């Protein structure tokens, strides 16, 4: 079994189009039947679960980029200018994640776990909303946005104090506003050359959110734990992910190799449409709510 951990992605097919949506009632009937036949599931979630919490996503219903890809890990580590731009924009973008709250989809998935239908929930999101909704068995595949670590000495702290220090170092940035973007980013285009980045208070090293940036690697132990769960479960359910990023798609590919049944609840195309057994192009929160009523 391959355990490649790259988080790189590749584009949707040029001729791809999103399939027609179906009603939540129809989708719920099919999903409830899938769960009855495969009652102990590994669940993989993506950005589509959190959009109703006001957190933007990167891709449209065809799996195409809505905007430029996120900051690249290598650029962040190598370029002071990239870090200035990242932290300057994050002063606007981070509060969207900080102030977000779980939406019904998060609570419905937590209820599925409580009823014994979810062995493990693997999320590509970094917002921790699954945990706040009550899910207990969660792997944050791409890390968590609310914690900061030093890339030199591994000093760690919660994120908000770092932003507080950034505001103290850059009081002129308090008045800026911009449209927010995914992962705590914002569409702010100003001169960042004088922005002072808050460095590690212990060693003056580079501080970075404890998340897997684009081009970085998912820690192998997270992948292994996820694969172990998938191997022991009755099937895989994908919720709210286009699976265009390989770090998520790998689970569908492996499930196919192992003969595990797969279902996907997602508004729009996924990269695994040719692999999955049941594709449900329907509203996530509504479908999960009706599914619980049928189980």
Give the C-alpha separation, 142 to 7, whole Å. Answer: 9
Q: Distances in Å between the alpha carbon of 43 and those of 95, 109, 140, 225, 238?
A: 28, 9, 12, 13, 6
The residues pairing with 148 across neighbouring beta strands, listed in sequence order, are: 157, 209
Interaxial angle between packed helices 24-37 and 284-294, expressed in degrees from 0 to 180 and rounded to the nearest 10: 50
Active site residue 73: no
Give the C-alpha separation, 35 to 176, whole Å. Answer: 48
The residues pairing with 237 across neighbouring beta strands, listed in sequence order, are: 43, 263
Active-site annotation holder among 108, 117, 130, 142: 142
Half-sphere exposure of 32 (CA within 13 A, CB side): 15
Question: In the numeric block, which tokens belong to residue 126?
Answer: 């970094």
Question: In the numeric block, which tokens belong to residue 116?
Answer: 């014994």
Say if residues 243 and 271 touch (Cβ distance below 8 Å): yes
The residues pairing with 239 across neighbouring beta strands, listed in sequence order, are: 45, 265
Q: What are phi and psi of 28, to 5 degrees?
A: -65, -40
Half-sphere exposure of 17 (CA within 13 A, CB side): 4
Residues belonging to the active site: 142
């Amino acid at each position: 079994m391959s355990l490649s951990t790259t988080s790189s992605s590749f584009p949707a097919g040029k001729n791809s189009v999103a399939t027609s949506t179906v009603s939540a009632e129809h989708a719920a009937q099919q999903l409830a039947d899938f769960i009855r036949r495969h009652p102990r599931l590994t669940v993989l979630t993506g950005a589509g679960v959190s959009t109703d919490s006001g957190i933007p996503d990167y891709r449209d219903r065809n799996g195409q980029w809505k905007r430029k890809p996120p900051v690249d890990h290598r650029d962040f580590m190598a370029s002071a200018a990239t870090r200035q731009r990242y932290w300057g924009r994050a002063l606007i973008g981070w509060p969207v994640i900080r102030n977000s709250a779980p939406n019904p989809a998060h609570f419905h998935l937590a209820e599925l776990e409580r009823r014994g239908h979810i062995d493990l929930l693997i999320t590509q999101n970094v917002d921790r909303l699954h945990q706040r909704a009550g899910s207990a068995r969660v792997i944050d595949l791409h890390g968590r946005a609310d914690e900061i670590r030093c890339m030199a000495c591994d000093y760690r702290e919660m994120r908000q104090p770092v932003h507080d220090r950034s505001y103290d170092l850059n009081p002129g940035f308090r008045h800026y506003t911009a449209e927010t973007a995914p992962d705590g980013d914002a569409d702010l285009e100003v001169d960042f050359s004088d922005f002072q980045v808050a460095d590690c208070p212990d060693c003056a090293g580079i501080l970075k959110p404890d998340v897997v940036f684009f081009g970085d690697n998912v820690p192998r132990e997270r992948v292994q734990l996820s694969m172990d769960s998938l191997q022991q479960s009755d099937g895989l359910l994908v919720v709210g992910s286009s699976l265009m990023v390989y770090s998520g798609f790998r689970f569908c590919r492996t499930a196919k190799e192992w003969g595990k049944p797969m279902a996907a609840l997602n508004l729009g195309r996924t990269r695994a449409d040719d692999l999955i057994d049941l594709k449900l192009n329907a509203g996530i929160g509504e479908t999960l709510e009706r599914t619980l009523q049928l189980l």
